[in-house]
Structures are given as C-alpha cells and as structure tokens.
Amino acid sequence: MIDDTIAAIATPLGEGALAVIRLSGADAFAIAGRCFRPIGSSSKIPSEATTHTLHYGNIIDAEDRVVDEVLLAVMRTPRTFTREDTVEITCHGGMVASQAVLQTVLTAGARSALPGEFTRRAFVNGRIDLAQAEAVSDVIHARTDLALAAANEQLAGKLSQRIGRLRDDLMNVLAHLEAHIDFPDEDITPDTQSQLIGRLESALDFIDQLLATANEGRILRRGIRAAIIGRPNAGKSSLLNQLLGLDRAIVTPTAGTTRDTIEETANIRGIPVVFIDTAGLREAADAIEAEGIRRSYDSMASAELILHVLDATEPLTDEDQAYLDQFADRQRLIIANKIDQPNANAIGIDCLQTSATEGTGIEALKDAIRAAVWSGEIRADMLPAMINGRIQDALRRARAGLADSLGGLRADATLELIAMDLRIATNAIGEVVGQTATEDLLDRVFSEFCIGK
C-alpha cells in the first residue's frame, strides 16, 4: 500500500483557529488539484506549483460547492517529511470544517492514513531510521524541557550514529571470523585473537553504558507516579496545590474532604511527576470514604514514590506510626506539614518540613523528589543515549549474544558457534535503528502513533 496516497488531519481534533490536512503520495498533487480552486493570479493548482510554495484558494466538493477557504502548501519529493509528494491544506479549525475538507480529499481519491503512517513512510523511504521515528512521537508527547531535549537529540540521529558505529564494529569482527571459517587452514594468531577480544569487550562496555540510561529514559518519557498519603486534614490537598502551582484540589478545614483520588502532572526539576492526592488514611466513617481509602491503597501500589504527610501541629500517633511502619519498605519522603502554625511541634523523626499554606519548604521538597528518583546531575551529553523500552530489549538480547561470542572466543570454541552468537547480537543491534526490523515490529511501533503523524 506504499504506492497509494494517504490523507489525515495532522492537528488535534477539536475547536481551534486552524487545522491542517496532510496528503502524501504519488497522486497527492492530482488529488488535491481535483478539489482546490486557486484564487488570484499568483496562486496555482498543485501540479503547476513550484516546490515549497503556498497558494490561496477554496476547497470545492464534487458538486462544485465551496467547502472552506484555505491555504495550500506544495512540497515536492524528496524534500518532504515522507520523501513523497506532499500537500498540506490549512483550513479553519473546528470539527466540522476540518472533517469536511478531509472528506472532500478522500472523495477525490486519497485513502485515510493509519496511525503513524506518515512517519512510517519517512522510515521506509530512508529519511529517518526507527530510533528517529520513535523520537518523533517522543517530541510530541514530551512533558518537560528535558524530555523534549532528549527526544530532539534522538531525532537528530545522535543515538543512531552511536548504534551505527557499534554495528559496524561488530560486522567487522564477524567478517574476520567468517573469513577464517572459509579458510580453516589459516588459524587466528594470538595477537589477532587478542585484538578481536578487545573489540568485543569494548562493544560490551558500550552496550552496558546505554542500558544504564534505560531508567532515566523511562522517567523522562513517562514520568513517575507519586502518591500523597497521610491522615485526614494533614494538608495533602494543600501540598498538591502548591506543587502544581494552582488550586486543583478542594481544601477546607473539614477533615476527610478528599473522597476520591486526584491526579495531575507537574514539571519537577525537569522530570514529569504525576501527583496523586489520596483520601485520608483512617478507619472509614461510611461506604463512600471506605471506597476512597481503597482507591488510595491502589494508587500507592502503582506509585514509584510516596509522599507521606504528617501534621506538625499534632503529636505522632500510634496510627501515624502504624502507617510509617507499613510503608517503610517503599521509596518515600516523610513530610511534616503546617510548620507555620504556632502549635507546631518537632515530630521526632527525620523528615522534610513544609507549610502548604505559606509555601515554606516547597522548593526543598521539589529538590528531594528529584533526588529520590534521579541520582546525580542531568547533563546535556546524557540526553542522546536515554533509551526506551524497545531499544532496551534489543540491547539486552545483543548483550547476551555478544557475551556468548566473547566467552567462546576466549575459550577457543568453534568459530561457527562464535560467529552465530555474534550474528544474533548484530541483528539485535540492527533492530534499534530498523535495519533488521520485522513487519510485526514496525506495526507495533507505529500503531502507538497518532493518526496524521
């Protein structure tokens, strides 16, 4: 189906000032020409327009009625995202207008694009590799400046260049081994064997360095979940509002105001953190509160970090201690809140001190949250190598094959077996950038994209 012409709305659905309908394929100009009527002497039909020019006119349906007033961009292959002839129609925003223009284009001969099909065509046509294609999605979904910077580094090909050099090194070693397999009378000299072992050891070290960034990459892409827990009226909702910088949760002097979990995402020192405000932990007074507390425990189970809020105006109770003991094995920060109150007391345990109403200690809390989930500094040179889960899986399989071939080479094993393990490692490395990707893998990767990208 790569030879047909696809179309989709490339902007988010909903009301807005403008919407963009994108066409890509060999018949993009002909299809757009059937429904575009240029206005003015400088506007052209797509087939007559020079590349990368903008033209004003109307979209006309099959019955010669004006659908919308538009600007039409013409981009000729190969200087396009997909490396195919491309037309982008900018029309008025809104569900009705954009869908009407899209339907007119489809009626003129285009096919509705599948999720991620534009980016898939860019990959198939050699404009980007698979790691760069995934970075397109990461750019779209980035929730912090750091996540965006990491995605842009990968989109620019920084990771791909490193992977390419690694695969070239392994291919050279494999070629050396296969040459000796083809000419068995020529034994590998000790010096040559030592050099091959050194190259495989370097490759193994490099893979380990990339695998070490998997957790950071996951955090930048998906963020972490942090559950805010504690007894009723400890100030959990006020603390959430301070961390978000807006009044998201209802705050009243009445204990037990929060009956359900509330989730919101905030940028905490460059890391996306999904904060979950939970119902106060206590013996439930009714069925509604009991359900809220049950949901609180569910949120805690899925959270990577727990923010346990204590009330500094009250002494530490047996109930507080029971909850402290219950979650002692979890990654957590203990917070003494309401330190601005005249009756605030030292709780007697090591904890962060905040006043959610005054904002005291909030910046220190943000620093502590970042330190709890990310050790060390976030440097610019780290960003290109922050791998995702798919790449992590491929590198782990590559590492296993590489370790087996290295062990075989050290033990003077049969060269055919060493080469087979090294070929497995090389193919796994190739999966990272799509050089050895299967159709099933490509379907899985691009199905996660939105339609129109």
Per-residue pLDDT of 288-321, as tens digits, reads 556 666 676 677 777 889 999 998 888 888 888 8
Domain of 60, CATH number, reads 3.30.1360.120
Contact 259, 309 (CB under 8 A): no
Report yes or no on 119 lying in a domain: no
Report yes or no on 296 lying in a domain: yes
Helices 389-410 and 415-433 pack at an angle, to 10 degrees, of 160
In this prediction, residue 238 carries a pLDDT of 87
Amino acid identity for residue 141 in this structure: H
Pairing of strands 332-337, 305-311: parallel
* 425 vs 421: CA distance, rounded Å: 6
Residue 255 has pLDDT above 50, yes or no: no
Domain of 318, CATH number, reads 3.40.50.300
Last residue of a domain, one of 373, 405, 421: 373
Interval 47-79: pLDDT, tens: 999 999 999 999 999 999 999 999 999 999 999
Q: In terms of residue numbers, what domain contains 166?
A: 132-213+387-446
Last residue of a domain, one of 312, 345, 373: 373
The whole-chain average pLDDT of the chain stands at 86
* 335 vs 355: CA distance, rounded Å: 10
Residue 382 has pLDDT above 70, yes or no: no
**Which of 109-113, 283-287, 368-372, 413-417 is predicted most confidently?**
109-113
Host H or E run for residue 444: helix 439-446
Report yes or no on 151 lying in a domain: yes
Same domain, 74 and 176: no
Same domain, 247 and 285: yes
Of 366, 449, 448, 379, nearest in space to 146 by CA: 379
* 387 vs 449: CA distance, rounded Å: 18
Residues 6+ apart with CB under 8 A from 147: 138, 220, 221, 270, 272
Of 59, 63, 64, nearest in space to 102 by CA: 59
* 126 vs 68: CA distance, rounded Å: 35
Same domain, 170 and 256: no
Same domain, 295 and 245: yes
* 403 vs 56: CA distance, rounded Å: 61
Residue 92 has pLDDT above 80, yes or no: yes
Same domain, 109 and 140: no
Same domain, 235 and 364: yes
Which tokens is 350 given?
């090591």
Last residue of a domain, one of 347, 373, 399: 373
Report yes or no on 122 lying in a domain: no
Host H or E run for residue 192: helix 190-211
Report yes or no on 118 lying in a domain: no
In this prediction, residue 282 carries a pLDDT of 52
Same domain, 228 and 206: no
In this prediction, residue 254 carries a pLDDT of 46
Report yes or no on 283 lying in a domain: yes
Same domain, 100 and 138: no
Confidence label for 23 from pLDDT (cuts 50, 70 and 90): very high
Tell me the average pLDDT across 206-230. 84
In this prediction, residue 378 carries a pLDDT of 59
Same domain, 239 and 330: yes
Q: Which residues of 203-235 are buried (b: 16+ CB within 10 A; e: fewer)?
A: bbebbeebbebbebbbbbbebbbbbbbbbbbbb
Q: Give the other-Cβ count within 10 Å of 315's Cβ.
A: 10
Domain of 188, CATH number, reads 1.20.120.430
The pTM for the full model equals 0.77
H helices of 92-144, where? 95-107, 117-124, 130-141
Same domain, 267 and 365: yes
Same domain, 330 and 252: yes
Per the structure, how many domains does the chain have?
3
Fill in the DSSP letter of residue 223: -
* 34 vs 185: CA distance, rounded Å: 69
Same domain, 189 and 88: no
Report yes or no on 159 lying in a domain: yes
Report yes or no on 57 lying in a domain: yes
